Amino acid sequence: MENTIKQLLNEIQTISESYKRVAEATGENFNIFSVLQMERNEVKTHSRFIAELLNPKGSHGQKDLFLKKFVELIQIEGFDTTSAVVKVEFSIGKKTEDSGGRLDIKIKDSKNKIILIENKIDAPEQEKQLIRYKNYVSDDTDTLLFLTLEGQESKDINIPLEKYRCISYKSDILNWLEECRKEATNIPILRESITQYMNLIKKLTGQNVNTKMSEEITEKIITDKEKFETFITLFAAGDDIKKRMIQQIVEHTLPNLIIKTGKDLQLETDYKELNMLNHSVQRRSFWFTNAALEKLNLSICFSFNVESGFQRLIFGFRYVDYKQNENPKYEIIRKEFEKKFQKKLTSFDWLCWRDFDEYYDWRDFKVLKNIQFGNFKSDFEEKVAAMLNIINP
């Protein structure tokens, strides 16, 4: 088995290095969304790009072709794509318990048939959000779509599943984009723009961008019994590798980094209860406190979404007691955080936070490689030091 593992790894490494050289020569790794640090911006990147393609009057010049592909793939019947009007961030009035808010994407045809898309990548789901949107489209022939990376159901117990439909970036949007790209074959700028966006979606959902490389590796594995058995063995070790790496980081890497800061930080964590798949728990975290932070009822926190693996790593200032969320210094801290990290999100238990872009999805072994062999230690130390400087300039 050991020789077979070594042989398979060597063959895969050879294939990977070959495609890596091709990618470097052709500029395949270049992605405008990544360069501009817009990968996870729900409104300015994802909602607007998707809406532009769906819009029959969009700058793509293909009229209702892409919208028609979308309603066919999602199986929405009786929608007149030729007369459709598309709006992004559409206000439906002042938010109350049962009405109002802002719709991510609204599509309406001349027969007043409506498609609403609620887009969720990073922002937490608001209480009764889908209920408010469904009340806006009371007609049962209208469609409310809940779009997430993996196609998760809403966490809001107030709305039954039959009132909305779950769709995912990982399959539904990628499949639709592939159809759009086929139609844009003879329009290079449009075709390559769609390709770059598809590559971004694959990155966010932990999929291999290079389909040809995946196909070549797959062929080697499924046509050889010993290699297939070896693959099963390696695949089965994946969860243990991730758990071991997190254990090393929390038990060794983080304490050593904390000692280097010299700011008397104390590390606490609930990571020991982590499971690779934990559908009963949404987040697990590790956080740091010292006298200055505790005085402000804050901790420096790094937190995972663990429902489908170690993913969505975020960092920021989290309340020690979320019920004590008023302090004259909080607004100053929020502004300094946004100034330092170019982005600021808030929620009921966080003063401010943002995604840790470079190490966001620990299901991706490329991310794990960067953690183990790349700049994670220095990047992490820099984040902690910057937040400490916000507290004590």
Closest CA to 97 of 132, 130, 133, 138: 132
Are residues 232 and 243 located together in one domain of the fold?
no
Q: Is 374 in a helix, a strand, or coil? A: coil
Helix (H, G, I), strand (E, B), or coil: what is residue 354? strand
In terms of pTM, does the model score above 0.75? no
At 276 the pLDDT is: 43
* Domain match, 267 and 226 both: no
Tally of CA atoms within 13 A in the half-sphere of 322 that contains its CB: 8
Number of H helices, E strands in the chain: 15, 11
Query: Where among 156, 188, 204 does a domain terminate?
Result: 204
Residue 65 φ then ψ, to 5°: -60, -45
Q: Are residues 100 and 158 in the same domain?
A: yes
Enclosing domain of residue 23: 2-28+210-236
**H-type alpha helices, the chain:** 2-26, 32-35, 48-54, 65-74, 129-136, 174-183, 188-204, 211-222, 225-236, 238-248, 254-261, 291-295, 330-341, 365-373, 376-391
Strand 102-108 versus strand 85-91 pairing type: antiparallel
Are 175 and 99 contained in the same domain? yes
Whether residue 139 sits in one domain with residue 52: yes
Residue ending a domain, among 152, 181, 204, is 204
Domain end call among 218, 236, 254:
236
CA distance 12 to 111: 55
Q: Give the whole-angstrom CA distance, residue 177 versus residue 217.
A: 24
- Residue 237's Cβ-count burial label (10 Å; 0-12, 13-18, 19+) is exposed
pLDDT at 277: 44
Please tell me whether residues 108 and 243 are part of one structural domain.
no
Residues 294 and 351 in one domain: yes
Structural domain total, the chain: 3
Are residues 187 and 274 located together in one domain of the fold? no
Q: Which residue has the tokens 């620990």?
A: 362
Q: Which residues does 307 contact at the CB level (< 8 Å), separation at least 6?
A: 152, 277, 278, 279, 281, 282
pLDDT in single tens digits along all 393 residues of the chain: 667 777 777 878 787 777 677 667 666 678 888 888 788 788 889 999 999 999 999 999 999 999 999 999 999 989 999 999 999 999 988 888 788 888 999 999 998 899 999 998 867 677 788 888 888 887 777 899 999 988 888 877 778 888 899 999 999 999 999 999 999 999 999 999 999 999 899 888 877 666 777 888 888 888 888 888 888 888 888 878 877 887 777 777 777 777 776 668 888 877 655 444 444 557 778 888 989 999 999 999 988 877 666 777 889 999 999 888 889 999 999 999 999 998 888 888 999 999 887 787 777 777 888 888 888 888 888 899 899 999 987
Q: What are phi and psi of 62, to 5 degrees?
A: -100, 15
Handedness of CA 11, 12, 16, 19 (dihedral sign): positive
Predicted confidence at residue 388, as pLDDT, reads 92
Helix (H, G, I), strand (E, B) or coil at 156: coil
Do 231 and 245 fall into the same domain?
no
| 298-305 β-sheet, strand order | 266-269, 283-289, 298-305, 311-319, 350-355, 345-347
Residues 64/58, Cβ–Cβ less than 8 Å = no
Q: Tell me, yes or no, whether 17 and 113 share the same domain.
A: no
DSSP β-bridge partners for residue 309: 307
**Does 171 share its domain with 126?**
yes
In terms of domains, do 200 and 320 share one?
Answer: no
CA angle 40, 195, 63 (to 5 degrees): 100
Q: By the 8 A CB rule, do 85 and 107 touch?
A: yes
